[in-house]
Amino acid sequence: MKILVSNDDGFRSPGIRALREALATLAEVTVVAPDRNRSGASNSLTLDVPLRVFAAPEPNVYFVPGTPTDCVHLAVSGLFDFEHDMVVAGVNDGPNLGDDVLYSGTVAAAVEGRFLGLPAIATSLCTAPGSGAHFDTGAEVARRLVAQLLRKPLDRTLILNVNIPDVPIEQLRGFRTTRLGYRHRSEKIIPAQDPRGRPVYWVGPAGAEQDAGPGTDFDCVANGYVSVTPLQIDFTRHAALPVMASWLEGIDG
Ligand code: MN
């Protein structure tokens, strides 16, 4: 059993260290992760410059000046002379709830694993970035999910998006399956000035919760449960196909 571990916070982050240690009790773990924080990278691939892979001092840990998707793509598409059996991403420093998944590099790392044919789990600790105290809880949750997946394999097209309350493990109330909620639109951009007086901007915080009622991932973690959302990648709005067919009538004269 060989597990590829990646993330978007960078190979030095406490979350990926905890995850690597927890999964090492179940499998041979290889880490291939960005050299620095690439949160918000989504599914981007680096195509304009070559990718370089560096070995970290720890065994079986590699870092790449690239995106999470670059890392998983490299690791699963020929970097090694062996195949991985699963991809686990995280433990992210911060939640990936609702529409966060669209921007998330953590989820993107799992999505890339799934595109390349592997079972994939994305794990995120629901904490304010930088303040996460319980990455060991997140890593233990990941270990239990991987063990469960080994006992009870799932459809390989599923991606599991897991959000974990930032509490000691004994305070978790259990595991629940959820759907993604939605946020309000993002907060406004934050203007500032560079040292030469020119305007610069920071992307503002994610919007507040909008659709966060019972059954959603937001509600689940707010109540102290681990949220497990099965994701699919199918952007087609299937229900709109008949409407579109009639909408296009007459357009070609
Ligand atoms: Mn991150």
Give the pLDDT confidence of 123-150 residue by residue, as tens digits.
999 997 667 689 999 999 999 999 999 9
Q: In this prediction, what percent of the chain has a pLDDT beyond 90?
A: 89
pLDDT computed for residue 149 by the predictor: 95
Cα–Cα distance for residue pair 203/199, rounded to 1 Å: 13
Rounded mean pLDDT of the chain?
95
Residue identified by tokens 């997946």 is 149
Query: How remote is the CA of residue 15 from the centroid of ligand 1, in Å?
Result: 10
Query: How remote is the CA of residue 252 from the centroid of ligand 1, in Å?
Result: 47
Query: How remote is the CA of residue 185 from the centroid of ligand 1, in Å?
Result: 20
Query: How remote is the CA of residue 93 from the centroid of ligand 1, in Å?
Result: 5
Given a contact cutoff of 8 angstroms between Cβ atoms, the answer to whether 40 and 103 are in contact is yes
Query: How remote is the CA of residue 251 from the centroid of ligand 1, in Å?
Result: 45
pLDDT computed for residue 248 by the predictor: 97
pTM: 0.94
Given a contact cutoff of 8 angstroms between Cβ atoms, the answer to whether 171 and 141 are in contact is no
Cα–Cα distance for residue pair 64/152, rounded to 1 Å: 33
Q: Please check the confidence at residue 169 and state whether its pLDDT lies above 90.
A: yes
Q: What is the CA radius of gyration of the chain?
A: 19
pLDDT tier, 208 (very low <50, low <70, confident <90, very high otherwise): confident
Q: Which of 106, 125, 128 is nearest to 167 (CA)?
A: 125
Query: How remote is the CA of residue 76 from the centroid of ligand 1, in Å?
Result: 21
Query: How remote is the CA of residue 110 from the centroid of ligand 1, in Å?
Result: 13
Query: How remote is the CA of residue 13 from the centroid of ligand 1, in Å?
Result: 9
**Which tokens is 106 given?**
């953590």
Query: How remote is the CA of residue 253 from the centroid of ligand 1, in Å?
Result: 50
